[in-house]
Amino acid sequence: MEGESILLMLDREGICASSGSACTSGSLDPSHVLMAMKVPFKSAHGTIRFSLSHFNTKEEMDHIVNTMVPAIETLRAMSPFWKDGKVVKDHDNGPGPGIRHPFNDPGAVCLGKGQI
């Protein structure tokens, strides 16, 4: 799923975030770091970034987590890149050896980029 889809779902709940890496803001290219880690291209396009500080509260973090899980589940149900709860294999580059891909773990919540 695209990061922009995740951002729309989060925005509806008052959560601000960004897609992609900070060093490529304004670009639609996935993070070069994620690509070097051999994260599949389709999955790298689904990353988001949260910008947090010491002013953020536990309640705000709980709100993010409680919003992310149903948002990701909803988007996965609509995505052509997901089947039976798993990402459809990218043939151009898969995860490298020993890399646990968080999107294949239904219990994983990956907090990335933006502001709350």
Secondary structure E strands in the chain: 18-19, 48-49, 82-83, 86-87
Q: Is 63 helix (H, G, I), strand (E, B) or coil?
A: helix
d(CA 18, CA 25): 9
**Diameter of the chain measured on Cα atoms:** 42
Of 7, 23, 35, 94, the catalytic one is 23
Q: Look up residue 47 and give its two tokens.
A: 């990353």
Mark whether 23 is an active-site residue. Answer: yes
Q: Which helix (H) or strand (E) holds 32?
A: helix 32-36
Residues annotated catalytic, as ranges: 23
